[in-house]
Amino acid sequence: MKRINWLVEVTVVASAVAASPSALAAAAQSEPSYPTRPIRMVVSAAPGGGADVMARMFAPKLNEAWGQPIVVDNRAGAAGNLATDLVAKAPPDGYTLLVRFSSLTTTPPFYPNLPYDPVRDFAPISLLASSTNVLVVPPSLGIKTVQELIRVAKANPGKLNFASVGAGTLPHLIGELFKLRAGVNMTHIPYKSVAPSLMAQLGGEVQVNFPALVSSATQIRAGRLWALAVTSLQRTPTLLDVPTLDESGLPGFEAIAWYGLLAPAGTPRYIVNKVQREVARVVAMPEFRGALIAQGSDPVGSTPEEFAKRIRTELAQWSDLVKQAGLKLAE
């Protein structure tokens, strides 16, 4: 009931403000200035990681716009949970923000006792960018299409190994989703990071991998790995000749990596909106978009509502998959 009343109140106020330019100006003047001091941007990855790169691309642009330092604070560890818990417990004043990778939705099904709730404890601001993953195999396997891979896997149940960057990560769950959708049995081999997983594939220890495009584009362009399909619903500009899994006989298959910006729950809406508008402005810059695309990411700049919907949808999707496949971290 409280939620319904809140929505009604917001709708009424929004309508009144929209109907009166003077009311709009008065409302803007009544909002406290933001930001008036440095902003701490907590990153759930070590320096050089994807989330860190994303934070360091956006931070200077926000600094230019607001004249306040954006301090990037790397808090890697526990699959991103250290940084996430820190921000969940920070004051909701807009001066502590979180740059989070899509593991925000893949790890909770494996951690029933997380110290934070990925939905309740955050105010989503915007998706910054997304990046497809790629189904790759070594040329020595002699397989050039998804359907060929499925036929080989069905003829050799359990004999093909697929790599990931750890149990509970997005590449792991993509592999498990592929197994279910394709009706095949492959053996999961987790590695500590993407580099050893790719080296293991090049060395013949594993045959199948689902790395992020950002991490595997160099090997693909060099011909050391063959890209059979991307995991997004649309083809990526970086590999326009590579079909999607949806096009390759697995209708509706979608699983993408993303980077998002969040604040602690309870952060005033005018702050969330101001940060989101600035992110959208930055993402619309041609040079900035080009830089994101060049490193294998697709610019997004979503609304808070769109970001919140993705979080809820993916949490449900991955939770169902983990239960259906009986997955455990000790796997």
Beta bridge partners of 173: none
CATH code (residue 47): 3.40.190.150
| 298 and 153 fall within a common domain | no
pLDDT along the chain (331 residues), means of 10: 42 45 51 94 86 93 97 87 95 98 91 92 97 95 97 97 89 96 96 88 95 88 96 91 98 95 98 98 96 87 97 96 85 44
Whether 235 maps to a domain, the answer reads yes
Tell me the two tokens of residue 78: 């526990």
Is-contact 275 94, C-beta < 8 A?
Answer: yes
- pLDDT score for 224: 96
- pLDDT score for 5: 44
Q: Of 254, 280, 302, which residue sits at a domain end?
A: 254
Q: Of 254, 284, 308, which residue sits at a domain end?
A: 254
CA distances from 112 to 107, 117, 170, 328 (A): 9, 10, 18, 11
Which DSSP string corresponds to 233-255?
A: SS--GGGTTSPBTTTTT-TT---
Helix runs in 160-303, H state only: 170-182, 194-202, 213-221, 269-283, 286-294
Name residue, tokens 């330019």: 21
| 209 and 261 fall within a common domain | no
Whether 21 maps to a domain, the answer reads no
Whether 18 maps to a domain, the answer reads no
Is-contact 34 94, C-beta < 8 A?
Answer: yes
- pLDDT score for 7: 40
Tell me the two tokens of residue 239: 């590999």
- pLDDT score for 17: 44
- pLDDT score for 77: 79
CA torsion 178-184-186-192 (nearest 10°) is 10
- pLDDT score for 179: 97
- pLDDT score for 3: 42
- pLDDT score for 294: 83
